[in-house]
Chains A and B, each alone.
Chain A
Amino acid sequence: MAFLEASGIVKRFANHLALNDVNISVPENSIYGLLGPNGAGKTTLIRIINKITGPDEGTLLFDGKPLRNSDIMKIGYLPEERGLYKKMKVGEQAVYLARLKGLSRNDALKRLKYWFEKFEIQPWWDKKVEELSKGMAQKVQFIVTILHEPQLLIFDEPFSGFDPVNATLLKEEILELKQKGATIIFSTHNMASVEELCDHITLINNGKAMIEGRTEQIRRGYRQNLVNIEFSGQREEVEKILKDNYELRNLNAVNDHFEAQVKMSEDQSLNNVLSGIIGHCTIHSCQELLPGMNDVFIQVVNQKEQPSQNQKS
């Protein structure tokens, strides 16, 4: 069941179309990746979900009902452009932001105590934000985003500013939040984290949703019949067979064996390849290579870019 459903979203700015009939459907309790190059319209879409701006056309369903103003209390948003009041003390500021999200002072203090202990940052409570490093401030920001235990979390580039250790910590927290039942929208350029975390994705380009679906399916959809074969034995023979019958992308010596990347045509299968070379070598392993999200991203953005889509109004 879709927790958040946006259909037919159109948003016009003075002379360009930021969102052109975008539909997304975020399943409950999933991590949903919102991808796209800079300026594609991701942030505009996120702002519409947060009720920061309104769409010109289209509807939003939140938990099955039209999105209302009071629903933003159930949303936690970590914007890409984020910051804190520099002159304010960390604890005081966290309480203020939590109260703006509807928590009482006591609840806010109780929950903050838990999270500050968990992230081992209690000593910062009375420090001013300007004394913190960027990574430290990001941790505080993350806590404030999730403190009111929202049903929907929106993270825009959450890993920027984190070192690898803290990025891993953050990743674990995000997965834990999902386990506790939250639905998470995740906007990033970091394709490795998309592959790792996202169940579903939508790729937006020029204000249009280009592809949508489960991450695995999308990667399969873009497979190129590429296999990786590890073998040892007669290199020349194998190379000749592969070259004559298939498209040989690569053949390298790795340690004591060889690795070959072979692209097959539509009517060929891995069985053909293996039976052709099996007499000349020992096969250690073979594996179909699925394209990374990175490749999918680049392919989609480059292929389907049509200049006419930038409408004038």
Chain B
Amino acid sequence: MSKISLIIEREYLSRVRKKSFIIMSILGPVLFAAMMVVPAWLASMEDDEVKTIAVIDHTNLYSGQIENTELLKFDFLDEESEEEIRSNFKESGYYAYLVIQDNLLKNPEAIRLYSDAQITMDAKGYVQRSLRDHLKNQKLQTYKMEGLENILSEINQINIEIPTVKIGEDGSEKQSSAELTMFVSMAFAFLSYMFIFIYGTQVMRGVMEEKTSRIVEVIVSSVKPFQLMMGKILGIAMVALTQILLWVVLTILIVTGVKAAFFPDSEMPSGTHAQIEMMQDQNPEAAQQIASMEDGFNFNNILEMVNSLEPLKTLLLFIFYFFGGYLLYSALFAAVGGAIDNESDQQQFMLPVTIPIIISLYVAMMTFRNPGSDVAFWFSMIPFTSPIVMMARIPFDVPLWQLLLSMALLVGGFIATTWFAGKIYRVGILMYGKKVDYKELWKWFRYSGD
């Protein structure tokens, strides 16, 4: 036992001290934090430039119908100035100019927006929406209804947002958020996928390094090959945990630090406010939806929604499935590393190991849409895919028996793969310069001896 801990210590320290680990530990949180902070920052940066658009309306039907915003100003000019602007656009100082040739209700194509540069989506969209609203109102006015003004303002206030409520087994209601649930499900599935892949490959490289540097026989004269394999797998698992912990802690530190330094007034922890502002220009309906969702996001609501996901249970399950999946796959990766002699043989043996991981991610993607489907059920039972697929299902509430069955199968699964991998590993690490195929692996598996 003390020897396994020696091996774990070496595997852990030699990786944690590497420059690449330190860089990743710092760069990761910086990237995560940037993902949250940069959109807000960019939005606040873009705000200052005011663009002015000239409107030349040959019909005189639309003057004053496009309202100025903070960022977009409109000058309504007379027909004569069109030539002047066209020939002297650079000097005119306008960002773009809009020409309306005809009544747009009759001839919707009689309108053009000119500029010497590509016009932004925001500007084009705003002009489009303003005119569309105006035209809709105009059209309605032709029906000569009474009290139209009131009707219009009432219509424009209609909006719907459906709160989702989860019913507990005892009939109690909990407010839940479909969006949050889906996001959490996606995040967990993807995290499991990423870590199983990255650290499983590290196990394989570690084994290959020992084999190609020929140190392995020196070490197995002191410890059992199985101890060496498990020591490596567990040591690297600790590295993964350290990495996750560092990322979480550093990301929180950076985000709160940046928030305190640059957005002291903002109540929202992330860039959602800024995102809403940006979206308002492009897609008012969606922005409204989010905004109303955000309105409902007072602290108590958030807490209730997060609670409906049972964060402690979810976290514990995540750790269980992550470890289960990691142990299962890293044992197989270790066997591959032990079997091959050089990088070029790697591909043919990597493939059967990586295919189930990739399939799990695809199934997990389907699971977000239909967590109760048969496919999701079966793939969350099979130990090779359950670590990823089950994590995608958990936020949607999984019956207890399914959860327990899946966990039991996963434990059985990694014991089986570790045992299987151990047998191949033991023979493979001492085999040099031999062309290895699946038949050969099967032979190794059947070798006796302890």
**Which residue numbers of A lie inside 8 Å of B, CB to CB?**
11, 13-14, 47, 50, 52-56, 72, 75, 77-79, 81-88, 96-97, 99-101, 141, 144
Contact = CB atoms under 8 A, between A and B. Distances in A.
B222 A101 contact: yes
A100 B213 contact: no
A77 B7 CA distance: 19
B215 interface: yes
Contacts of B217: 52, 77, 79, 81-82
A54 B450 CA distance: 5
Contacts of A52: 217, 220-221, 225, 430
19 contacts: A13-B447, A52-B430, A53-B449, A54-B450, A56-B449, A77-B221, A82-B218, A83-B215, A85-B210, A85-B213, A85-B215, A87-B14, A88-B14, A96-B6, A97-B218, A97-B219, A100-B3, A100-B6, A141-B218
B218 A75 contact: no
B213 A86 contact: yes
Given A47-B430, A83-B215, A72 B449 contact: no
A100 B218 CA distance: 10
Contacts of A100: 3, 6-7, 219, 222-223
Contact of A77 (B10, B218, B450): B218
B106 interface: no
Nearest to B3: A100
Given A81-B432, A83-B213, A85-B209, A56 B448 contact: yes
Nearest to B221: A77
A72 B221 contact: yes
A102 to B, nearest CB: 8
A79 B215 CA distance: 9
Given A11-B449, A78-B218, A85-B210, 6 more contacts: A54-B448, A79-B217, A85-B14, A88-B14, A100-B6, A144-B218
B213 A79 contact: no
B303 to A, nearest CB: 48
A86 B222 CA distance: 19
Interface in B207-234: 209-210, 213-215, 217-223, 225
B136 interface: no
A242 B14 CA distance: 73
Nearest to A55: B449
A303 to B, nearest CB: 30
Contacts of B222: 72, 97, 100-101
Contacts of A101: 222
B430 to A, nearest CB: 7
A75 B220 CA distance: 12
B221 A79 contact: yes
Given A47-B430, A75-B221, A79-B221, A54 B214 contact: no
Contacts of B432: 81
Contact of B447 (A14, A84, A86, A88): A14
B446 interface: yes
Contacts of B219: 97, 100
A58 B335 CA distance: 30
A85 B14 CA distance: 10
B443 interface: yes
A-B residue pairs, 6 tightest by C-beta: A83-B214, A54-B449, A100-B222, A79-B217, A77-B221, A83-B213
Nearest to B13: A92
B206 to A, nearest CB: 10
Interface in B1-51: 3, 6-7, 10, 14
A11 B447 CA distance: 11
A294 B10 CA distance: 44
A14 B443 contact: yes
Nearest to A50: B221
B231 to A, nearest CB: 10
Contacts of B225: 52
A127 to B, nearest CB: 16
Contacts of B3: 100
A206 B141 CA distance: 105
A96 B6 CA distance: 8
Nearest to B223: A100
A218 to B, nearest CB: 29
Nearest to A75: B221
Contacts of A54: 448-450
B392 to A, nearest CB: 38
B218 A83 contact: yes
B445 to A, nearest CB: 11
B433 to A, nearest CB: 10
B230 to A, nearest CB: 14
A53 B221 CA distance: 10
A133 to B, nearest CB: 15
A82 B449 CA distance: 23
Contacts of B447: 13-14
A147 B448 CA distance: 33
